[in-house]
Chains A and B, each alone.
Chain A
Amino acid sequence: MKLTYFLRPEDDLVALSKSGVHEVLIGSKALSRLGAFELEQMIEAAKKAKELGLKATLLCDALVSERDFSSFKKRLESVLPFFESARALDPGVMQFLFESSNLKLQFVADTGNHNLPGLLAWEKYFGERLERLVLSIELSKESLHHIIPALKTPCELLVLGRILLFHSPRNLLSPLAGEVSQSDWIEATGASEESPHKGFPLVENLQGSFMFLAKDFCLAEQIDDLKSMGLEYMRFDPTGCSSDLAYEVSSTLLSDSPKLAKELWPNPVIRGFYGVNKSDVLFKKLKNPSRDKTHALAEVLDARKGEPMTVKVLDGSSLKLGLAVKMITPEGKIKEFSISTIKTLDGEVLDAAPERSIVTLQAVGSACVKALLLPNF
């Protein structure tokens, strides 16, 4: 597997090339979410990387509103000649690069691209120009096993680095920052006052505001698994560690004992959803409401002690005199009875009540609002 490295202005390209890194992602403040290079500085870094035999990829993964798109395009066009590949997240930026350049394209398919039909569609659309798909760290091991071999485009996955939780176009830190609010890069940490979660790193820059998880993502121990799936590129985002340590971690990730990288890493780490997709479990739970009206005939709308109870007959159902029913209260209490009286709200006596009608039935002890009437077979 080849190593892709998120380059910072303070990093030394010579040292990186010695550590075995294959590719550097070079992002500027103007064109990428979290790249910290100025445009001129970025061009110099790209030239130097190439001289050293490193692949230099333009990181232009900003999300770009229509009002900013033409100035973004101009800045982008000014740096394109210095790169052979570009990486974008915004489909509009991808489309622009696809139509207006000859660069090889890398698509960041991380937000919400969690299935093969969608990834195959991106592959088909960009065709030969698509050099790489950057996969989501929310994909489980099982999904990666199934997705990577089914794609003909080489894939990449983060193996060590920050977990981005939130990206807003708005400036959320500068209102708190007073004097430093003039700066184009503000950093902070946040702790929720309403949950046990704390230590969220925060950044505000030209691209808006970002929140990260306090723990970093690490699959250093799973690199053999990833190799066996056919993953071709692993990405390392060194934010949060010194350059010297970053070079050491890079060479460790490429060594025969990549798992040692986890021990070198200065921050606590997690494997995210690699092992099990916890979200799946909850998703299913949320989709199973406890009060299932599928088989209910009617719902109690009004019930007072000693008075007839009022029900609404549900869609597709009806009630008739003598029908045996089972009443289930929201607390799960069950009461069985037969319908002995049906009246309209004007007191007219009926033999049956059609769907969607509101009628009164006899008084029934323990009846309460929202109780459901079901057939009692």
Chain B
Amino acid sequence: MTKKLNFPIPELLAPAGSLEKLKTAVLYGASAVYLGGQRYGLRAAADNFNREQMIMAVQFAHAHGAKVHVVLNAFLHDSDFVGLSEYAKDLRLIGVDSVIVSDLGVIQTVIAAGGPEVHLSTQASCLNASAAKLWKAMGVTRVVLGREASLEDAKAIKLASGLEVEMFVHGSMCMAFSGHCVISNYTQGRDSNRGGCAHSCRHEYRIGLSDSEQEKNSFFMSSKDLEGLRQLKGYVDAGVDSLKIEGRMKSVHYAGTVTRVYAEALAHYAEHGNFLSDRLEEWASELRKVHHRAYTEASLIKPADESSIHNGRDSEGVESAVAGPIVALTKDAMVIEVRKKFRLGEELELVPFRGKSQTFTANRLRTLSDNPLEETKPGSLVKIDLIPGAAEHVLVRSTGI
């Protein structure tokens, strides 16, 4: 629990795939972020942080009262250990609050080097209180439970082990027990436990059942995405210490929008002691505005069943896309880095860090040299006349999808 409030709330832990996403998540209400360094993490292809960026990340997060957890969750071979002790010491020096680790060898090395405190990654598949006790003896202070755990499980594990418990509240889910899938190791030479998962579980398969002549095509091992919004009371009652949003590889739109929804819901709880806000439906509809597969509550209440399988290739239709984040303000304009094309006269939506979004019309579009524009191009910077509520990192959305 992080803040002293009427009703204490858990940490809201958001993904930070880049410094931009980190700032967005923190400004939209994350009380902690997790990010990868350039070594020892699972998201090998993500835009991971170098030392300078990590220092900036810690300074920014701490200045806004948020913690920084660094992911060191790859399973290492002996040759990968070179420099790990020094790296762990350095992370502590930089001020990183914890490291998220799955490999016992890495846990031992980080502890021996006097590195930051160690949280056990979901990749280690800690499923029960008995395992949590063992990991506590190994020196971890928190366990990140797998998506297969229920809220009841979390409560029991926390009570029996005395460890902090972190649980996913939102995002994509691995269909396997975490850490128990090596499909891409053998089919593509990419080690999924060291950052190479090729998402083979999202493929369509032709299945021939042994007792049947027929073959069936199916996305039989693709999971829907987790949405824990309506179970937040359960998370709080179970004593879950940290609510984790999945998605370091996802967009800045995702980082801002999803973080904002859960931050506002938790703020409501902190004030009123319940989640019975008349904004619940609005929050739920916000979560449908980012790219996602159909949502499920997975195993939060009862073991995930057939309804948790996403038998299809596509994401759900999204109702909005980010036009772009505001990257700077001038005397009379907000400068938007365009992510999705929009046109002059189009209705846009400014999403403030707190409170309701406001719609406005893009009446005047300009290049940075003040030449008029009819439409924007992704990747470019454009000026839109300044409106109240504009600030650096605020998201501007396009509603006409």
- In this complex, the interface size class of chain A, counting residues with CB under 8 Å from chain B, is 35 or more
Given contacts A167-B177, A190-B207, contact A114 B81 (CB under 8 A): no
Asked whether, in the complex, the Cβ of B130 is within 8 Å of the Cβ of A360, the reply is no
Asked whether, in the complex, the Cβ of B220 is within 8 Å of the Cβ of A176, the reply is yes
Asked whether, in the complex, the Cβ of A193 is within 8 Å of the Cβ of B209, the reply is no
Least CB separation from A357: chain B residue: B328
Asked whether, in the complex, the Cβ of A167 is within 8 Å of the Cβ of B78, the reply is no
Given contacts A112-B123, A172-B309, A202-B207, contact A121 B104 (CB under 8 A): yes
Given contacts A63-B125, A213-B186, contact A91 B131 (CB under 8 A): yes
Interface of A is mostly: mixed
B176 in complex: contacting residue of A167, A194, A344, CB < 8 Å:
A167
The answer to whether the Cβ of B108 comes within 8 Å of any Cβ in the partner chain is yes
The answer to whether the Cβ of B304 comes within 8 Å of any Cβ in the partner chain is yes
Asked whether, in the complex, the Cβ of B137 is within 8 Å of the Cβ of A125, the reply is yes
Asked whether, in the complex, the Cβ of A117 is within 8 Å of the Cβ of B205, the reply is no
One of B3-11, B192-200, B227-235, B278-286 contacting the partner: B192-200
Asked whether, in the complex, the Cβ of B187 is within 8 Å of the Cβ of A195, the reply is yes
A116 in complex: contacting residue of B105, B124, B185, B331, CB < 8 Å:
B105
B215-272 CB contacts (< 8 Å) to partner A: 216-218, 220-221, 223
Asked whether, in the complex, the Cβ of B183 is within 8 Å of the Cβ of A211, the reply is yes
Asked whether, in the complex, the Cβ of A114 is within 8 Å of the Cβ of B195, the reply is no
The answer to whether the Cβ of B180 comes within 8 Å of any Cβ in the partner chain is yes
Chain B: residues with Cβ within 8 Å of the partner, total of 103
Given contacts A112-B102, A345-B330, contact A167 B181 (CB under 8 A): yes
One of A42-50, A230-238, A299-307, A321-329 contacting the partner: A299-307
Q: Which residues from chain B sit less than 8 Å from chain A, CB to CB? A: 19, 38-39, 44-45, 47, 50, 52-53, 56, 75-81, 102-109, 123-135, 137-138, 148-150, 152-153, 156-157, 175-177, 179-183, 185-187, 189-191, 193-196, 200-201, 203-212, 216-218, 220-221, 223, 299, 303-306, 308-309, 327-328, 330-331, 335, 337, 367-369, 371, 379-381
13 extra A-B contacts, CB within 8 A, seeds A96-B130, A302-B381: A64-B127, A118-B104, A166-B182, A166-B221, A167-B180, A169-B303, A170-B303, A180-B212, A211-B183, A301-B337, A304-B367, A307-B371, A358-B328
28 sampled A-B residue pairs with Cβ under 8 A: A63-B180, A66-B152, A67-B150, A69-B129, A91-B134, A112-B102, A115-B81, A117-B104, A118-B106, A125-B134, A143-B77, A165-B186, A166-B175, A172-B220, A174-B306, A176-B209, A176-B218, A188-B207, A188-B208, A192-B205, A193-B204, A278-B189, A287-B38, A301-B381, A302-B381, A308-B369, A312-B327, A316-B52
